[in-house]
C-alpha cells in the first residue's frame, strides 16, 4: 500500500468584512441585457447562453454552447466571482479582470446585468434598482376584461347595443356605465367583432370593446418617480408577472439633483412648472415605448397605470404647482390618491386609460413611502414590530404595524448617495460598491468590474465599517495609523495630508483616470452626520412608540442603498440599530413593488388611502429630543460585529 503523501495544512485566509448573508435560494433570477435593456426572468442555474436562446438577441458562437469556440463573450456589469476553468483557457486574462465571461459557461445564480457587443465609449452604465421583494397577496386587478358573446341582431328585439352587452354579461352588471369614447366606437367595433368580443371593465364602467383575441392582453404599467431615477414596469394582470422593467435617469436633474432645487425652479421661473412637467412626461413616455417594445404590444393594449413618488414629484407629474411644499407649513395642494385620464396627464397609452396617483401623507411623506410600507407588509401585520428605512438624501423611516404606524423624514444629506464625498459618485460604472480586507490587503468590488473612479454610498458605508473593525478609524471618527504592525499594508495607506490623516483607497496606478482615490477625514465626518440623523430619527420613533431596540421584530431596507449595503456594515457604523442580522432584509425597490401591488389588487388602493389618513407623522425639526439623539449618535459604535 502506498504511503500517503504528507500535505501541509492550507493557510486559512483572513477576511475582514461583512460575512455573506444567508438567504434562501430563489428559483428564478433576473438577467438584464444591455444595451437593449431587456429583462429576462430565468430559472436559477441556467447559463446566459440558454437564457438568450428564445430571444432576438444576437450572440456569436460556432460550437453551439459547448464552451469550445470562445466566441460567446459577454461583459458582466454586475459583480461576478471567479471565472470557470473553460473561461480561463479561452478568454484573455485581462478580459477576465474586466468581467468578460463565456455566456455558455456562466450560470445564473443571482440577478446579473450583462453587455453584449462593444460598449460605446460615451455610454455610462448606471446601477439603478428596478426589482424588489413582493409578498403574496390576493390578485384582484384595478382593470379586468370579460369575453362576451351577444345575440344576433335578428333576435335583439330592438334592444340597445349597450343594453344587450349588459344582458349578456349577467345580472351583476346591470349598473354598468359606458364611457363616451366607448359608445362612440361601439357600433363599428361590434360590427368588426361580429358581436363576439372582450369588454374592458373598470369600476363598473365599460371602457372599450375589443376583439376576442385582445381579451387575453391584460397589462398595466407601474411607475416609480424617483428624484434621480425613474423606473417603469410592464405587468400582466392575468397572474401578476413583471414582463419587463426599464429605467432612466430623471431628465429634471438638469434643474437640480434634489427636490429643493426643483421647487426653487418652479417658484423663480414663470414656465418652471411647465418645463419640469414636460421633462417628466417625456421620460415616462420613453420608458413606456421601450416596455411596449419588449412586450410586443401597442399603446392601445394598456388601459391602466399607477405612479408613486415623493409629493413634489407627484405634483410635477400632474402639472400641479408644488410651491407650497417649499416653505413652512409645507402644504401640498393634494394628499388624496387621485384617478385621472392618462391622456390628460400626457401619457401615450389607450385614450381611455386611467392613471392612479398614490396618496401622500404630508409635504415630505409621499406615495413612494406609502408604497414601501405596503410592500413591507407592515400595514397588515398585527403582532410584529416592523422598522423600515428608505435611505437617500432624505432618510424616510417608518415603524409599527397595523395597530399603530409612525413615519419621519431625517435629513441625512447627500453623503449616502456619494455626494459631498471627495471621491464620491452615484452608483454607476467605476464606483466602488463594496469593500473588504483580505490577508491584510484591501479588496473592493467595482460596478461593471473596471478600475475604480470613485466610491458610492454602499461602498462608503462598507469601507468605513471595515476600517472601524481594523482600528484605522476610531469611535470618534478619526482616521489614524495603527500603533502596532506599522509595516502592514493597511497602515501604509494612512497618509498625512494638510495636517490630518486620510486613507488611500486606490493609488493613481490602480484607478481608472490615474487620480488617487482617498477617504478623507471630511468624508468620514459627512457619513457621521448622515448616519447620525438617520439613527436619531429611528430613536425618536422608538421613544414615541414606547419601545426599545430589543422590541423590533423585523428591519426592512428599501431603495438602492438599502439593497446594496450589507446589514453588518450598516450596523457597524450605526446607521441602523444593532439587532440580530437575520431580521434585517432588503426589499429592493419597494416603491415600485408597492405600486405594482396596488395595480394588481384593489384592496391595496384602499389600504394606501387609509394609510394616508392613519399614519402618524413625526416632524423631527420641532423635536428637542431629536437633536439630543443626533448628538448622541454622531460617534460610531464601539463594538465589532464580526
The Cα 462–Cα 573 span in angstroms is 9
pLDDT band at 249 (very low <50, low <70, confident <90, very high): confident
Confidence of residue 92 (pLDDT cuts 50, 70, 90): confident
Q: Using pLDDT thresholds of 50, 70 and 90, give the confidence band for residue 6.
A: very low
User: To the nearest whole percent, how much of the chain has pLDDT over 70?
Assistant: 90
For the chain, give the mean pLDDT: 86
Bridge partners of residue 500, in order along the sequence: 497
Task: Please determine, for residue 21, whether its predicted confidence score (pLDDT) is greater than 50.
Answer: no
Place of cell 414615541: 544
Over residues 597-610, mean pLDDT: 95
Q: Is 436 helix (H, G, I), strand (E, B) or coil?
A: strand
Contact 437, 15 (CB under 8 A): yes
Of the pLDDT bands very low, low, confident and very high (cuts 50, 70, 90), residue 403 is: very high
Residue 513 pLDDT greater than 60, yes or no = yes
Assigned CATH for 28-115: 3.10.20.30
Cβ neighbours for 65, distance < 8 A, ≥ 6 positions apart: 47, 49, 50, 72, 103, 104
Residue 596 clears pLDDT 90, i.e. is over it: yes
CA-to-CA distance for 530 and 527, rounded, in angstroms? Answer: 5
User: What's this model's pTM, rounded to 2 decimal places?
Assistant: 0.78
Say whether the peptide bond before residue 494 is cis (omega within 30 degrees of 0): no
At residue 619, the pLDDT reads 87
pLDDT at 22 over 50: no
Radius of gyration, alpha carbons of the chain: 27
Map out the domains of the chain as residue ranges.
28-115, 144-216, 219-357, 376-642
**Class of 219-357 in CATH:** alpha beta
What pLDDT is recorded for position 333? Answer: 94
Return the sign of the alpha-carbon dihedral for residues 424, 427, 430, 435: positive
> What pLDDT sits at residue 424?
86
Residue given cell 410635477 in the structure block: 316
Model pLDDT for residues 341-361, shown as the tens digit of each residue:
999 999 999 999 999 999 998
Residue 262 clears pLDDT 70, i.e. is over it: yes
pLDDT above 60: residue 230: yes
Tens of pLDDT, residue by residue over 205-219, are 999 999 888 888 899
Task: Check whether the bond before 35 is cis (ω within 30° of 0).
Answer: yes
Give CA angle at 482 (477, 483), nearest 5°.
125
Closest CA to 114 of 44, 27, 51: 51
**Fold identical between 28-115 and 144-216?**
yes
Name residues whose C-beta falls within 8 Å of residue 301's C-beta, 6 or more positions apart in sequence.
214, 217, 219, 292, 350
Measure CA of the first residue to CA of the last residue in the chain; give whole Å.
46
- Stated as kind and residue range, the H or E segment containing 243 is strand 242-249
What's the CATH class of domain 144-216?
alpha beta
In this predicted structure, what is the pLDDT of residue 43? 86
According to DSSP, the β-strands at 454-455 and 431-438 are parallel
441 φ, ψ (degrees, to nearest 5): -105, 150
**Distance between CA atoms of 314 and 359, rounded to whole angstroms?**
9
Residue 371 has pLDDT above 70, yes or no: yes
User: Where do we find the cell 495636517?
Assistant: 499
Neighbours of 148 (CB within 10 A): 21
Lowest mean pLDDT among 10-19, 187-196, 214-223, 269-278: 10-19
Contacting residues for 305 by C-beta, under 8 A, at least 6 apart: 220, 221, 222, 223, 342, 347, 349, 353, 354, 355, 356, 599
- The three cell numbers of residue 84 are 470557470
DSSP state of 414: G
Q: What is the DSSP string of 88-109?
A: HHHS-HHHHHTTEEEGGG-B-S
For 425-430, what is the mean pLDDT?
A: 80
Give the tens place of pLDDT for each residue, 181-198.
Answer: 899 999 999 988 888 899
Residue 239 exposure: Cα atoms within 13 Å on the Cβ side? 2
φ/ψ region of 377 (left if φ > 0, alpha if ψ in -120 to 50, else beta) reads left
Residue whose C-alpha cell reads 404590444 in the numeric block: 297
Amino acid at each position: 500500500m502506498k504511503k500517503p503523501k504528507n500535505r501541509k495544512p492550507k493557510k486559512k485566509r483572513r477576511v475582514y468584512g461583512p460575512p455573506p448573508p444567508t438567504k434562501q435560494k430563489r428559483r428564478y433570477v433576473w438577467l438584464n441585457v444591455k444595451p437593449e435593456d431587456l429583462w429576462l426572468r430565468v430559472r436559477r442555474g441556467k447559463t446566459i447562453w440558454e437564457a438568450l436562446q428564445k430571444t432576438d438577441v444576437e450572440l456569436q458562437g460556432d460550437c453551439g454552447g459547448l464552451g469550445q469556440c470562445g466566441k460567446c463573450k459577454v461583459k458582466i456589469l454586475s459583480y461576478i466571482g471567479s471565472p470557470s476553468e473553460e473561461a480561463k483557457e479561452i478568454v484573455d486574462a485581462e478580459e477576465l479582470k474586466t468581467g468578460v465571461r463565456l455566456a455558455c459557461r456562466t450560470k445564473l445564480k443571482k440577478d446579473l446585468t450583462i453587455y453584449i457587443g462593444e460598449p460605446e465609449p460615451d455610454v455610462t452604465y448606471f446601477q439603478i434598482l428596478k426589482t424588489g421583494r413582493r409578498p403574496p397577496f390576493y390578485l384582484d386587478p384595478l382593470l379586468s376584461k370579460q369575453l362576451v358573446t351577444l345575440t344576433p341582431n335578428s333576435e335583439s328585439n330592438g334592444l340597445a347595443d349597450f343594453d344587450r352587452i349588459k344582458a349578456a354579461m349577467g345580472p351583476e352588471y346591470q349598473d354598468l356605465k359606458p364611457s363616451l369614447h366607448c359608445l362612440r366606437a361601439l357600433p363599428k367595433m361590434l360590427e368588426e367583432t361580429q358581436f363576439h368580443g372582450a369588454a374592458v371593465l373598470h369600476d363598473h364602467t365599460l371602457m372599450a370593446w375589443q376583439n376576442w383575441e385582445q381579451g387575453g392582453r391584460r397589462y398595466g404599467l407601474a411607475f416609480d418617480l424617483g428624484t434621480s431615477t425613474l423606473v417603469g414596469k410592464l405587468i400582466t394582470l392575468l397572474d401578476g408577472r413583471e414582463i419587463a422593467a426599464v429605467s432612466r435617469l430623471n431628465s429634471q436633474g438638469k434643474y437640480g439633483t434634489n427636490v429643493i432645487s426643483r421647487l426653487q425652479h418652479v417658484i423663480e421661473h414663470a414656465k418652471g412648472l411647465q418645463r419640469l412637467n414636460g421633462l417628466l412626461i417625456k421620460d415616462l413616455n420613453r420608458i413606456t415605448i421601450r416596455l411596449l417594445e419588449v412586450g410586443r404590444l401597442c399603446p392601445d393594449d394598456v388601459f391602466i397605470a399607477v405612479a408613486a413618488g415623493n409629493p413634489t414629484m407627484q405634483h410635477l407629474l400632474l402639472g400641479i404647482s408644488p410651491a407650497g411644499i417649499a416653505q413652512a407649513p409645507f402644504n401640498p395642494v393634494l394628499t388624496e390618491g387621485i384617478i385621472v385620464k392618462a391622456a390628460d396627464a400626457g401619457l401615450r397609452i389607450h385614450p381611455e386609460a386611467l392613471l392612479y396617483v398614490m396618496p401622500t401623507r404630508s409635504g415630505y411623506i409621499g406615495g413612494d413611502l406609502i408604497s414601501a410600507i405596503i410592500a413591507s407588509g407592515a400595514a397588515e401585520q398585527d403582532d410584529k414590530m416592523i422598522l423600515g428605512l428608505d435611505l437617500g438624501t432624505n432618510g424616510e423611516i417608518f415603524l409599527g404595524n397595523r395597530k399603530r404606524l409612525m413615519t419621519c423624514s431625517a435629513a441625512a444629506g447627500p453623503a449616502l448617495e456619494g455626494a459631498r464625498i471627495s471621491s464620491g459618485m452615484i452608483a454607476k460604472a467605476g464606483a466602488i460598491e463594496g469593500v473588504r480586507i483580505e490577508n491584510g490587503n484591501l479588496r473592493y468590488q467595482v460596478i461593471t468590474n473596471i478600475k475604480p473612479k470613485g466610491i458610492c454610498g454602499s461602498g462608503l458605508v462598507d469601507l468605513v465599517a471595515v476600517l472601524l473593525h481594523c482600528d484605522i478609524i476610531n469611535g470618534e471618527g478619526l482616521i489614524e495609523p495603527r500603533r502596532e504592525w506599522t509595516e502592514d499594508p493597511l497602515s501604509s495607506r494612512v497618509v498625512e495630508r494638510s495636517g490630518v490623516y486620510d486613507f488611500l483607497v486606490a493609488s493613481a496606478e490602480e484607478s481608472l483616470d490615474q487620480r488617487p482615490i482617498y477617504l478623507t477625514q471630511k468624508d468620514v465626518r459627512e457619513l457621521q452626520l448622515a448616519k447620525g440623523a438617520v439613527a436619531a430619527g429611528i430613536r425618536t420613533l422608538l421613544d414615541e412608540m414606547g419601545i426599545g431596540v430589543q422590541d423590533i421584530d423585523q428591519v426592512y431596507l428599501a431603495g438602492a442603498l438599502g439593497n446594496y449595503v450589507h446589514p453588518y456594515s450598516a450596523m457597524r457604523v450605526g446607521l441602523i440599530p444593532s439587532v440580530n442580522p437575520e431580521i434585517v432584509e432588503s426589499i429592493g425597490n419597494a416603491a415600485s413593488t408597492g405600486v405594482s401591488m396596488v395595480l394588481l389588487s384593489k384592496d391595496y388602493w384602499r389600504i394606501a388611502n387609509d394609510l394616508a389618513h392613519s399614519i402618524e407623522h413625526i416632524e423631527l425639526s420641532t423635536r428637542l429630543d431629536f437633536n439630543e439623539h443626533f448628538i448622541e449618535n454622531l460617534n460610531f459604535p464601539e463594538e465589532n460585529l464580526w
